[in-house]
């Protein structure tokens, strides 16, 4: 059996045929950018995010950049060049690019010893007089810690930006309040890159804001600062096209089912592998399970394990090969200080296939192959 790391729902019949018809209708309409499909998508995303105003943009990376600029963080958004943003080091590079692109400074924070995400204490310890904002990344789909971070930011008068690229569909609760990922911060950046929980067939992203004024700023920024004959500010070309919006509107019909299916597969993996000598991801409540990332004892064991799975036809991938502070391009912003837990994670993490399009037979096949690969000794 051959199992890729990811298989898009839109590629399978009869969905592909249905989508082809919808796309043909968009092509015939002659409206290709920021039209009715995009408007409908913004309304539907807004409903998913408890009524927050949403703005469709070109990609998740641009959504992050526009989030910081719209909130006035960093010199490019009318803030200060010395504004600091606390952010995890164990995440995707776009997070740091956005902070720097907005004209602010990233301050990298380590992961917790037993988790991929930093804890509140990690952010608290990194807090300094120049700290303006925290970037919370729901890595792999895990919304854990959002309520606590939101309360901390409120008390400390810091802005909270959520990167929900991997955790759209997740739900967080502190026992009193509950809310979807993307509704805890001042702004949330979404990505619809094909492998995300809500995927397009190309690049696309969106923003959601607590304050509609920030949403208006993002609406200007995505289209060259233009409104009603005036360029009110200098902006970007970060417009979503109608074809992607059309696909995303269709994907939203299946979104609740797909998140439920991801959770069911994760639950199956967690119970089937509980006795194996690999570390399973934390079973956080409300997890969206965009990726299922296990930890091996070390790089050598990971290599052997991945090779055994590859021999069984199962694709795996390392997220992430290095924490951000270890990349040459970002070292000037960090120096040589160790963030040891993130460095350990980079040497032992491995993502296994988990997506709604896996059928039961494939899931059982993966379960058996992982059991054999982990049990044969490293």
Calpha distance 363→376 (Å, rounded):
20
Q: Which of 49, 73, 136, 165 binds ligand PLP (CB under 6 A)?
A: 165
Interface map 8-47 toward ligand PLP (x if CB under 6 A): ----------------------------------------
Q: In the range 193-212, which residues lie near ligand PLP by CB under 6 A?
A: 193, 203, 205
* Strand ranges in 147-239 using DSSP code E only, listed in sequence order: 159-163, 171-173, 178-180, 187-191, 205-209, 226-227, 230-231
Would you say 252 or 367 has its CB closer to ligand PLP? 252
Residue of minimal Cβ distance to ligand PLP = 60
When asked if residue 59 is in the footprint of ligand PLP (CB under 6 A), the reply is: yes
At which residue do the structure tokens 């959002």 appear?
A: 146
Point out which span in 15-23, 92-100, 149-157, 260-268 binds ligand PLP (CB under 6 A): 92-100
Would you say 131 or 244 has its CB closer to ligand PLP? 244
State the Cα angle at 98 between 93 and 103, rounded to 5°.
130
Secondary structure letter of residue 186 according to DSSP: S
Residue 377 region by backbone torsions, left for phi larger than 0, else alpha for psi between -120 and 50, else beta: left
Calpha distance 43→51 (Å, rounded):
9
Secondary structure letter of residue 82 according to DSSP: T
When asked if residue 188 is in the footprint of ligand PLP (CB under 6 A), the reply is: no
Q: Which of 110, 163, 242, 301 binds ligand PLP (CB under 6 A)?
A: 163
Q: Which of 26, 48, 54, 60 binds ligand PLP (CB under 6 A)?
A: 60
124 and 145 Cβ atoms separated by less than 8 Å: no
Calpha distance 332→73 (Å, rounded):
20
When asked if residue 346 is in the footprint of ligand PLP (CB under 6 A), the reply is: no
Minimum distance between the CB of residue 276 and ligand PLP, rounded to whole angstroms?
Answer: 27
Count other Cβ atoms within 10 Å, centred on residue 275. Answer: 9
Point out which span in 37-45, 53-61, 332-340, 342-350 binds ligand PLP (CB under 6 A): 53-61
104 and 83 Cβ atoms separated by less than 8 Å: yes
State the Cα angle at 234 between 230 and 236, rounded to 5°.
110
Point out which span in 40-48, 57-65, 122-130, 208-216 binds ligand PLP (CB under 6 A): 57-65
Would you say 269 or 291 has its CB closer to ligand PLP? 291
**Structure tokens given for 112:** 């917790």
Q: Which of 68, 92, 116, 273 binds ligand PLP (CB under 6 A)?
A: 92
Q: Which residues here bind ligand PLP, judged by CB under 6 A?
A: 59-61, 91-92, 94-95, 137, 163, 165-166, 191, 193, 203, 205
């Amino acid at each position: 059996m051959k199992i890729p790391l990811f298989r898009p729902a839109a590629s399978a019949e009869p969905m592909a045929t249905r989508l082809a018809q919808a796309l043909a209708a968009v092509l015939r309409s002659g409206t290709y950018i920021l039209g009715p499909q995009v408007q409908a998508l913004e309304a539907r995303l807004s409903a998913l995010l408890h009524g927050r105003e949403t703005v469709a943009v070109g990609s998740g990376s641009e959504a992050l950049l526009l989030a910081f600029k719209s909130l006035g963080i960093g010199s490019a958004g009318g803030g200060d060049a010395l504004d600091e943003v606390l952010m995890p080091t164990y995440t995707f590079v776009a997070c740091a690019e956005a902070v720097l692109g907005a004209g602010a400074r990233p301050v990298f924070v380590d992961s917790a010893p037993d988790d991929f995400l930093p804890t509140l204490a990690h952010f608290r310890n990194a807090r300094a007089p120049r700290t303006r904002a925290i970037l919370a990344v729901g890595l792999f789909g895990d919304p854990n810690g959002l309520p606590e971070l939101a309360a901390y930011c409120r008390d400390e008068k810091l802005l909270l930006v959520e990167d929900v690229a991997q955790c759209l569909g997740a739900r967080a609760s502190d026992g009193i309040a509950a809310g979807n990922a993307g509704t805890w911060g001042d702004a949330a950046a979404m990505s619809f890159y094909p492998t995300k929980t809500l995927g397009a067939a190309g690049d696309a992203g969106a923003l959601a804001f607590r304050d509609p004024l920030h949403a208006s700023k993002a609406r200007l920024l995505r289209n060259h600062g233009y409104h009603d004959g005036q360029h009110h500010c200098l902006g970007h070309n970060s417009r979503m096209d109608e074809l992607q919006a059309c696909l995303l509107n269709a994907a939203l019909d299946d979104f609740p089912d797909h998140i439920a299916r991801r959770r069911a597969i994760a639950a199956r993996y967690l119970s089937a592998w509980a006795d194996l000598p690999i570390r399973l991801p934390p079973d956080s409540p409300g997890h969206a399970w965009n990726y299922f990332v296990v930890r091996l004892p070390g790089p050598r064991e990971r290599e052997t394990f991945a090779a055994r799975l590859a021999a069984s036809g199962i694709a795996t991938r390392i997220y992430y090969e290095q924490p951000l502070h270890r990349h040459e391009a970002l070292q000037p912003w960090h120096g040589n200080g160790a963030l040891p837990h993130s460095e350990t994670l980079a040497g032992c993490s491995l993502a296994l296939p988990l997506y709604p399009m896996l059928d039961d037979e494939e899931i059982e096949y993966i379960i058996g192959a992982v059991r054999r690969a982990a049990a044969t000794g490293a």
